[in-house]
Structure 1
Amino acid sequence: MEDTPMENGETNEDSEVAPALISVHPTQSSVAVAVGSDLRVFDLRGGCAVSLVDYSGSPLHKDSIRTIRYGADGKLFVSAGDDKTVKIWSTESWRCITTVCSEKRVSAVAISSDGSYVCFADKFGVVWVVDVDLSDGNQDFVDKKAAPLLSHYCSIITSLVTVFPKKPLDGAHEIQSFSLGHTEFVSCLAFVCTQECPQGFLVSGSGDSTVSNRNNSWSLNCFHMHLVYGLLESNGIEECHGAVTDLYTIPDSTLVAVAVQRQVSIFWILSLLSLQGIILLSCDLSAKTLHVAKVVSIEGDAFIPTSLGTSLSSGLLWMVTGASNLHDSQYPCVARVKVISGVKETSPDSVEHGPIVLKDAEIPGGEKLLQKLQRL
């Protein structure tokens, strides 16, 4: 595949450092980690690393990967990023079955529930959609051209969740509603869905230190992260801001796992501190409120989660920390993977005693998985 030109005045050397990402197959049959341009996949069922096959060229992206995602049924996996390509993989063969070229860098992706469509968003605020054909087991490589779905916001789209219109390739000609309320950038989105509330609620995290749950266009409740760190402000710290870097809803529960990067200003000196672990928020769908169920810390290890993931049935929360290398670095990108068990329970009592950070030897896939995904 030919090199795609960069935007005007933009070079690879100007690229921002990208955080490490993690995504888990819906049935936890595999786990994928992206750090920099490196895409790493481990087959948990086979207990071995996955070899990616891409007939368009190298199986790795040429620049930092910004988003990875499995489809709802686990048949598709999508990776995309700063090299302006969207790669759609079959998880049966781990072949790249479709490569889509984007005009701009890709910042977010979503997959329809039936796996028929993939949409992606770029840093200039345009959402594109492409159809995927897996009928009759077709896994031959094809180049696709995306059709515009929504435009034009003139601002980077940081997260993307969608129910898709009936005919996505015809575009979405009408915006259903706007959900306003955050005062800073929205960093991540997810739906909380249960059997009692199948339509779900939208949960959003932001750089303004808040997590909000929303129904349609109304902000139902806003949880401020400074409530978790309130003791800091009583110890001579003037300001405390915690940007929500990622959140993930626990399947079939009302729990939301939140990763926070805390920025603290002390006597005019700005220092960067973070929570080494995650915050579990409980969403009371009847009262439409959020509250802290548990703060799960990782002791004795400088582990600041940059991305979260889980499967539908495992009860395990996967986390990764790491970042792409600076362009003059001579060392490979490294990452660290951690897993927390016991997060699927929904009652406050069970959550209080349930979550446990697994030791490396206890993580599914063990040492082989860590060697593949971490590259330490």
Structure 2
Amino acid sequence: MEDAPTELGDSNKDTEVAPALIAVHPSQDSVATAVGSDLRVFDFRQNCAVSLKDDSSEGSLHRDSIRAVRYGAHGKLLVSAGDDKLVKVWSTLSWRCITTVCSEKRVSAVAISDDGSYVCFADKFGVVWIVDLDTPDGQVVEFSPDGKYILSADRDFKIRVTVFPKNPLDGAHEIQSFCLGHTEFVSCIAFLCTPEYPQGFLVSGSGDSTVRMWDIISGSLLDTCEVGEKAGLLGSNGREAECYSAVTDLCTSSDGSLVAVAVQRQVPENFLLHPFFPCQVVPIRGGTFIPTSLQMCSSTGLLWMITGVSNLRGSEYPSLARVRVISGLKKSNSDSNEREPNVMDDNDIPGGAKLLEKLQGSLSYSEEVFLAAAEAVKTAMSNLLIKKQYSSEKREFRKRTRNDKKIKH
């Protein structure tokens, strides 16, 4: 019985699909999506698709599925990383790769310090690495807003807060706190900053269908939102009502007034949720749209989201993506004039058809295509987050056959 998950995990490795990802420049100067190994960028300043330039010795762009993409250093840098064990840092002015870092293992998360001096990335074994971008030969993930801490989350339900050292390349050994309370894997973390508390509160989403708020200095749990229950996904007894309601991603507004949450479902309708007070459920038209990644733009108040997968075998479209945008999230000065959140029509999305063609790879896909891909999306998200169990014999075999160090440059 113990070997069964191992065999399943090994057999799935060759056919594993990668969920699509999205990242938005803080000022919405550009938007980037990752679908498999394909990194796609649309530049609003030039109103055109971007041709990325990569002159690194590792070759052109990425060779395998991208698992993390995000902007950093106030939008000056874009970083991408994934299964090819490469972390690539791009200048958003020239759209040229300025640094490529080789990891020993596949990379699952990335973060960049506000000053652009350091990039942090986490590998599949849970090790967090810090690299000096000026001398990238050293040794996820989230920086606190004040830059004093690095936060990492894992599939063992815990969040660790580590003090960012004065000499980062010597290692970060001082643990500030642990945030403990989730009962399933932690899928996403973000900071919620308010004018009264600029250092920010941490918010985290989990497979236990909750979003939790933390004080990172003490590790204290400040609030819990049962997103599954609020979205009508759980029955009155607190158990799942014919669905799997894991939180797959979350993001926050710059003023700390909103947290947007994507919830995975197995019923024919999906939601974006604003979980803290007041709570509001936003229906997304089309039952096959399961958001795999979210990003809120602080300057425009638009919430960008994407669904999609790559390496989808047996399909007419082995890699596909769909981008949607929600408007009306900014609070107005008068409650009576406050707009309701609204899923924008494709023609109203900034960049219009030109943007969608670049970021999606196609202007549109039929509902039947996404219906076939929806199950693959759910499986892909679960494979990423649920920890595989191996027998002791299998673990020893995997250790003996590891080739991580052999391919390090």
Deviation at 1:26, TM superposition (A): 1.0
The answer for the alignment partner of 2:190 in structure 1 is 190
Distance 2:43 2:83 in 1: 26
Distance 1:308 1:173 in 2: 32
When you count helix as a share of all residues, which structure comes out higher?
Answer: 2
Aligned counterparts, 1:1-376, within 5 A? 14=14, 16-56=16-56, 58-133=59-134, 144-147=136-139, 164-216=164-216, 217-230=219-232, 233=235, 240-262=243-265, 272-273=266-267, 275-281=269-275, 290-300=276-286, 302-326=288-312, 331-345=317-331, 349=335, 353-376=339-362
Count of aligned residue pairs for this structure pair: 341
Contact 2:262–2:272 under 8 Å retained in 1? yes
Contact 1:71–1:77 under 8 Å retained in 2? yes
Structure 2: segments with no counterpart, 5+ residues: 1-8, 142-149, 363-409
Distance 1:190 1:297 in 2: 23
Contact 2:159–2:179 under 8 Å retained in 1? no
**Change over 3 Å in CA distance of 1:214–1:351 after alignment to 2:** farther
Give a deviation string over 1:2-42, Cα, whole Å, max 9, x none: xxxxxxx9799536321110000111100000011111000
Distance 1:47 1:157 in 2: 42
> Secondary structure of the residue that 1:273 maps to in structure 2?
coil
Deviation at 1:153, TM superposition (A): 10
Please say which of residues 322-331 and 42-51 is displaced more in the overlay.
Answer: 322-331
Deviation at 1:233, TM superposition (A): 3.0
Give a deviation string over 1:270-298, Cα, whole Å, max 9, x none: xx2375231112xxxxxxxx345321112
Distance 1:348 1:15 in 2: 52
**Change over 3 Å in CA distance of 1:183–1:54 after alignment to 2:** same
Contact 2:109–2:140 under 8 Å retained in 1? no
Query: Amino acid of the residue matched to residue 97 of structure 2?
Result: C
When you count strand as a share of all residues, which structure comes out higher?
Answer: 1
RMSD of aligned residue pairs (Cα, Å): 3.3
Please say which of residues 154-163 and 38-47 is displaced more in the overlay.
Answer: 154-163
Distance 1:186 1:260 in 2: 13
Contact 1:71–1:113 under 8 Å retained in 2? yes
> Secondary structure of the residue that 1:367 maps to in structure 2?
helix
The answer for the alignment partner of 1:3 in structure 2 is none
Query: Amino acid of the residue matched to residue 250 of structure 2?
Result: L
> Secondary structure of the residue that 1:178 maps to in structure 2?
strand
**Change over 3 Å in CA distance of 1:12–1:322 after alignment to 2:** same
Query: Amino acid of the residue matched to residue 166 of structure 2?
Result: K
Distance 2:181 2:100 in 1: 37
Deviation at 1:311, TM superposition (A): 2.2
The answer for the alignment partner of 1:6 in structure 2 is none
Query: Between the two proteins, what is the percent identity of the paired residues?
Result: 63
Contact 1:17–1:325 under 8 Å retained in 2? yes
Distance 1:332 1:237 in 2: 31
